[in-house]
Amino acid sequence: MNEEKMIERLVQVSLDTARAMLDEYELVIPFGIRVFSDSEDVTMNCPADQNRDADWDEQIDLVVAELREFVKNENVYATALVTSLEADSEMGIGLQVETSLSSALFVFPYEKKDGQWKIEPEPVQSEPLRDSVFSG
C-alpha cells in the first residue's frame, strides 16, 4: 500500500471510530490509531479503558505516551491522536496525523441533527496540539 493510501486509511478508520464513540458516548474519548510500514494493519490504542479516573489532559498524555512507545518498538509509518475539540459552541473531531517527516492537525466539525451525528467531510487544518510522537 502506498503512503497516501496509508494516510487515507488512517484518517478513515479514525473518523469511523470517532463516529462510533459519538454514537455510544456522545463524545470522542482520546485515542490513538497507527498504520505500519510493513503491513496493512490499522491498530487502535485507548488508554481510557484502563484509566477511567484520569482527566481529559491526562487521557491525551496517556495516548501520546503509548503512541511514542509503539513508534519506538514497532514499524509504525503514521499515527493519529484523535479527540473531541470544542470552541465556543462548535465541536470538532481533532486528528493530529503524524509521520516521521510531518505533523498536522485536522479538525472535522460535527453536530447532532435529527438524532444523527453529522461530521463535515472537509477538515479545517490547524497547528498541531502536541509535540510529535516520532521525536519524543
DSSP bridge partners of 86 = 91
pLDDT recorded at residue 136: 59
Predicted confidence at residue 130, as pLDDT, reads 65
Cell (9 digits) for 44 = 487502535
Cβ contacts of 60 within 8 Å, gap of 6 or more: 30, 81, 83, 129, 130
All three cell numbers of 11, joined, read 484518517
In this predicted structure, what is the pLDDT of residue 68?
Answer: 95
Question: What pLDDT sits at residue 129?
Answer: 67
Task: State the pLDDT at residue 128.
Answer: 73
Q: Is 96 exposed, middle or buried (0-12, 13-18, 19+ CB in 10 A)?
A: buried
pLDDT (0 to 100) of residue 89:
84
Q: What averages of pLDDT result for each successive group of 10 residues across the chain (136 residues)?
A: 90 96 93 94 90 87 94 95 90 94 92 92 81 75
